[in-house]
Structures are given as C-alpha cells and as structure tokens.
A = this chain, B = another copy of it.
C-alpha cells in the first residue's frame, strides 16, 4: 500500500516544439511579399517582431507549436484549463486509472489583504506555514484513506475520486502556439496571479525565451500584453 507523499514544486518539460522567430516573420511578410521571398537577417526579424507586437498584429504569432508535459496539482490545472483558445489538453484521468497519492505542499504560506482584484499576498510566518501544512496533510491523509476504502468496497474509481482534494498532483500535456502562450503568460506571469500559477508560467516562459528569443524579448518590452 502506498502512503501519501508530498511534493513542493510543479514540473514542466518541453515535449516537442516547432517554429522560430524567423517562421513568425515569414508568415507576417506574406502580407507584403505575396509569392515572393526576400533574404533577411536576425536583426530585421527582431525589428519586425517588435513592430507586430507593438501594433497588436497577432496572427503571425500563431504559426508554431510547443507541447509541454507537466506535473501539477489539480487546483492549478483547474485555473489552467480556463484558457480555451489555441490550447490543447490531455490530463491524467481519475476514471481510467487509480490515482497516485502524491500531493502538493506549499513551502511557505501566504496571507491575503486588500480588496478583490487588488489583493496583496505576503509571505506568512513560520507558524502560519506549519498550520497550513498540518491542515493539508490531515486532509490529504483522510482523503486518501477514504479513496482507498471506497475502492476496497468495490466502488468505481470515478466515484471514489470525489473524496480527493485539490492538492492532488496529476500529469498532463499542454500544447500552445506562441500567441496563446503569450495570452497565458500575460495573465499568469504576474504579481496578481496565484503564486503557483506564476511558477508554472515562469517555466513556460523559460522555454519560450529559448525557442522564440526575439518574440519573447518583444513581449517583455511590450509590458507582457499579448498581441
């Protein structure tokens, strides 16, 4: 029998990727070149990408694709799947398999002040972190026991899972194009976002930087407003 274990972080790996700053520029230049082509260099591409970003010409940023394999708690997936446009998902199922007892434990509790939409989240005290971790562990243990009891009684997995908490870790694939990725980053890589979502977004952003450096730089220079 497996006992619940805790993880303190989300994991994100790039599974596959295609596209580049140059591909975005090729798509954009079809507007002005039509069937023709022109030799260009990286500087010209960076300049064009900056222009497209600043003037919110978004469509060229859709030609490209990046797929991630992610391990994250349900409450983060819950936030993630609210992004609907230009994003694809496949996530571990609680119907098709017995889930693993791996749960998310935050390293540091956060407190909340201010009004809706203007919340400020501060790092909590050590006491608060301990209180949160204890509360979560208690919930995780009981929930896992309930899950196992229901399964042991012969109840279907899709019903036993109702007992499980939002902190459960599951694995999934996400696919974006550069434009939909920027939409995600504009909302989630922010001080207003839930810290765990910002952590996820930071890991996406690192891959974005690596594969589309000029686009990522222009996005930052433009205040992370998606085109």
Contacts of A91 in B (CB 8 A): 30-31
Interface string of A55-70 (1 = CB under 8 A from B): 1110110111101010
Q: Is the CB of A162 within 8 A of B112?
A: no
In the complex, A56 Cα to B192 Cα: how many Å?
Answer: 12
In the complex, A58 Cα to B82 Cα: how many Å?
Answer: 12
Q: Is the CB of B162 within 8 A of A104?
A: yes
User: What is the oligomeric copy number?
Assistant: 4
Q: Provided the pairs A135-B149, A142-B139 are in contact, do residues A67 and B30 lie with their beta carbons within 8 angstroms? A: no
Within 8 A of B (CB), among A44-101: 51, 55-57, 59-60, 62-65, 67, 69, 71, 73-75, 78, 81-82, 84-97, 99-100
Q: Please name the residue on chain B nearest to A28 by beta carbon.
A: B90
Within 8 A of B (CB), among A7-32: 15-19, 23, 26-28, 30-32
Give the dominant DSSP class at A's interface: mixed
Is the C-beta of A150 less than 8 angstroms from some C-beta in chain B? yes
Q: How many residues of A contact B (CB 8 A)?
A: 102
Q: Provided the pairs A23-B67, A97-B31 are in contact, do residues A155 and B73 lie with their beta carbons within 8 angstroms? A: no
Binding-face segment, A123-131, A202-210, A214-222: A123-131
Interface residues of A (CB under 8 A from B): 15-19, 23, 26-28, 30-35, 51, 55-57, 59-60, 62-65, 67, 69, 71, 73-75, 78, 81-82, 84-97, 99-100, 102, 104, 106, 109-112, 116-117, 119, 121, 124, 127-128, 131-132, 134-136, 138-140, 142-143, 145-147, 149-150, 153-167, 170-173, 175, 177, 187, 194
Q: Which 5 A-B pairs have the closest CB atoms?
A: A65-B65, A18-B18, A62-B88, A112-B156, A131-B153
